[in-house]
Amino acid sequence: MPSFPTYAVTVDLVVLTVRDGALAALLVRRAAAPYRGRWALPGGFVLPDEDLAGAAARELAEETGLVPDAVHLEQLRTYGAPKRDPRGRVVTVAYLALLPDLPAPVAGTDAAAARWWPVEGVLGESVRLAFDHERIVGDGVERARAKLEYTPLGAAFCPAEFTIAELRQIYEAVWGTTLDPRNFHRKVTGTPGFVVETAGSTTRNGGRPARLYRRGEATLLHPAMLRP
């Protein structure tokens, strides 16, 4: 094997949830240079005997206290432009995590300053991120929006039991649209494996009691639910 250049390899996490009717990303404030004081994606170096998904799961657990089974975590894309980190050549493998709105917002151990930011602000002008993280967030959001079309992943944003209207509000927040409640209900309940009816019901949203559902086993939607 000839000599070859070496690189630092990190994982960065685009952690998304729906809070207050809006899609939000988890960001941490950088305590050290470069970009000291700027908001950035949570992440860190890949350890020597850890695989990439394992590093992503570890970082997510450190930031949120969540066990990997409870969340959806998938590889997003890898970023490796030569000048993306002023300290040297750093290649980062970005992962996308989709979470229910957490009761204890951020139970991080090493995140003194971590909070949820609406993605509208992050992708607009109101929050400036470190490194190329705004682009990574943008790619993560677009992946999430696309996946809601052809997978049942919208339920990953919901707690264990949820109503169809709550699921619909997830779609509306992620896509930034409104959906017909009646057609949405039929589409979701009529797609085998999308959701499973439970015994319970709730009136937490007012009006007639709504049935509670759990996530189903399906991984793909046929046919897809297209954005309007």
Partner DNA sequence: GCAAAAGTGTTAGAATTACACCCATGC
Partner DNA sequence: GCATGGGTGTAATTCTAACACTTTTGC
Compute the least distance from the CB of residue 11 to DNA, in Å. 35
Please name the helix (run of DSSP H) or strand (run of DSSP E) that holds residue 114, with its range, or none. Answer: strand 114-118
One residue of 31, 36, 75, 181 binding its own copies per CB under 8 A:
75
The answer to whether 164 contacts DNA (rule: CB under 7 A) is: yes
Amino acid at 88: G
The answer to whether 71 contacts its own copies (rule: CB under 8 A) is: no
> Which class for 79: exposed (0-12), middle (13-18), buried (19 or more C-beta within 10 A)?
buried
Compute the least distance from the CB of residue 140 to its own copies, in Å. 14
* Residues near 131 by beta carbon (within 8 Å), at least 6 away in sequence: 35, 40, 84, 85
52 binds, among its own copies, DNA, none (CB under 5 to 8 A by kind): its own copies
Q: Which of residues 118-177 bind its own copies (CB under 8 A)?
A: none
Instruction: Please say which residue, 88 or 206, places its beta carbon nearer to DNA.
Output: 206
Residue 168: CB atoms within 10 Å: 20
The answer to whether 145 contacts DNA (rule: CB under 7 A) is: no
Compute the least distance from the CB of residue 206 to its own copies, in Å. 37
Instruction: Please say which residue, 13 or 212, places its beta carbon nearer to its own copies.
Output: 13
Compute the least distance from the CB of residue 192 to DNA, in Å. 11
d(CA 159, CA 179): 21
The answer to whether 8 contacts its own copies (rule: CB under 8 A) is: yes
Residue 154: CB atoms within 10 Å: 28
Q: Which of residues 174-193 bind DNA (CB under 7 A)?
A: 180-183, 185-187, 189
Compute the least distance from the CB of residue 127 to DNA, in Å. 31
d(CA 119, CA 139): 12
Give the x/- contact pattern for its own copies in 24-43, rule: CB under 8 A. --------x-----------
One residue of 104, 112, 199, 226 binding its own copies per CB under 8 A:
226
Compute the least distance from the CB of residue 208 to DNA, in Å. 2
d(CA 14, CA 77): 11
d(CA 159, CA 101): 8
The answer to whether 196 contacts DNA (rule: CB under 7 A) is: no
Instruction: Please say which residue, 84 or 185, places its beta carbon nearer to DNA.
Output: 185
DSSP string over 27-77: EEE--SSSSTT-EE--EEEPPTT--HHHHHHHHHHHHH---GGGSEEEEEE
